[in-house]
Amino acid sequence: MSKVRVRIAPSPTGYPHVGTAWQALFNWAFSRRFGGEFIIRIEDTDRKRLVAGAEDKLFEAIDWLGLTEDESPRKDGPYAPYRQSERLDLYKKYAQELVDKDKAYFCFCSEERLGKLRKTQLADKKIPKYDRHCLKLSKKEIEEKIKNGESYVIRLKVPANQKIIVDDLLRGKVIFDSNIIDDQVLVKSDGFPTYHLAVVVDDYLMKITHIIRGEEWLSSAPKHILLYRAFGWSIPIMVHTSVLRNPDKSKLSKRQGHTNISWYKENGFLKEALLNFLALLGWSHPQGKEVFGLEEFTRLIDLKDLSPIGPVFDLQKLEWLNGLYIRGKSDEEFLKLIKEYTKYSIDKANYQIILPLLKERVKKLSEVDQWLKFLFEKIDYNKDLLFKKGADKDLLKKQFTLILDKLSAINEWKIETIGENLRNIIVQNNWKPAQFFMALRVVISGSQVSLPLFESMEVLGKDESLERIRQVFNFLNE
């Protein structure tokens, strides 16, 4: 095998998509396994859809994930420039070469004519294709039109009656009929190339050995093969990966809020968990493992093991994985991580009791404040929660009177003494623990679900805990 060179070629038309990260991961890992090179090429020829700052956001995401490239617009290499808008002269040169070889031709048809043609073909139930109206123009007529400043495009001249075979590593041989392939535009009227010309020229000049891209490009592959043949170039190995799908099997599109890579960082997903999750989309560990690191994935990745079936992007599974990675952090590492996501001032000395308990419960770092809020702010809870588990006002009055009495007498406010006193109350009065502790939990934390009760009360402190218990009497005596 020649030296592996792979690439991703995103367009800066919006925020970096998680699908781009998925493609980057497989390309990066494959290149690293075989000692190759990973290139990022920016395809910015669709000038109308460019979004300012999108390219910077892409590289921020790449850096956060740790999938740093070998060559790109920001990392110069032997095949620069790596931004298509800076390679226009190359595309013009190769487009003219195709024209000279009678593999492409100039087209001067207006948008109005093309629109009418398409409408007529659709009405006649025909496949919409260009009718080669301009193919009959003589060289002299073409030169005259160009001299007069008439707008034109350059089209690929697709040969008739040919079977074009796309040899895909995952899907085998996919056969296309050239008679239903349109004479694709290669150079637009603004002088910019279309994707089809630019991607073939760039992949060839940059010595790309494996084209790993989404299956949405499979229908374009025969056009690219025709271009490779027209130029007389060897065709790289093609791998058209499956499309990521939502749990309802619809395509994971940009309309889904969680397709933005930055969304994962902002919501407190660890990059290790996200990469692990992405690796499991369309690939399975040989030993059936679901939890593994980037190094292990890189050591095992083989393109032929990818699945052509669209994997489901299950956000709940990602949250589960993220929770595992969070729990794998030391308390010191966890504390450092959550400081970026909490508005509260915490440190290990003050909250060493809470930190390991919090770590066991958090699935995303962005959830930290909802668990800690009751420790820092006055709580306002739904009073109806007190009556869960079958309690009434008389029972609650008696329970909280005894709780306040017993806990006020405690000198050493520790988990053990808090717990011992509360359990004694239950035993002496033959009360149901579930109801008793649920009511107290609501009063202390404001919620039925919280950090462990005794630990929470120790961290909250005696004065604040007793104050919250006293407040419940105002409601019970209404």
Give the pLDDT score at 8: 97
Mean pLDDT over all residues of the chain?
A: 93
pLDDT digits (tens, 9 = 90+) for 244-269: 888 877 887 655 557 899 999 999 99
| Distance separating alpha carbons of residues 69 and 7, to the nearest angstrom | 9
pLDDT average, residue stretch 382-404 = 90
Q: Which listed residue (3, 254, 289, 336) is catalytic?
A: 254
Cβ atoms of 455 and 353 within 8 Å: the answer is yes
- With a cut of 80, say whether residue 112 has pLDDT above it: yes
CA-to-CA distance for 122 and 193, rounded, in angstroms?
27
CATH class for the region spanning 87-241: alpha beta
Find where tokens 């988990």 sit.
415
* pLDDT (tens digit per residue) in 13-27: 888 899 999 999 999
Q: What's the confidence (pLDDT) of residue 38?
A: 98
- As given in the structure block, the two tokens for residue 362 are 């958090």
Query: pLDDT tens, 184-232?
Result: 999 999 999 999 999 999 999 999 999 999 999 999 999 999 999 999 9
Instruction: Say which residue the tokens 């043949």 belong to.
Output: 229
pLDDT of residue 153: 98
Task: Determine the Cα–Cα distance for residues 313 and 308; give it in Å rounded to an integer.
Answer: 15
Same fold, 1-73+242-328 and 87-241: yes
State the CATH class of domain 378-476.
mainly alpha
What would the pLDDT profile of 25-34 be if each residue is shown by its tens digit? 999 999 999 9
3-state secondary structure of 193: strand
The domain ranges of the chain are 1-73+242-328, 87-241, 330-371, 378-476
Half-sphere exposure of 357 (CA within 13 A, CB side): 14
For domain 1-73+242-328, give the CATH number: 3.40.50.620
Residue 255 pLDDT = 54
| Tokens 């009656």 found at | 161
Helix (H) or strand (E) holding 56: helix 54-65
- C-beta separation of 129 from 137 below 8 A: no
| Exposure of 188 in the CB half-sphere (CA atoms within 13 A) | 13
Give the whole-angstrom CA distance, residue 433 versus residue 465: 19
- The reply to whether 125 belongs to the active site is no
Q: How far apart are CA 205 and CA 343, in angstroms?
A: 51
Categorize the per-residue pLDDT at 351 as very low, low, confident or very high, splitting at 50, 70 and 90: confident
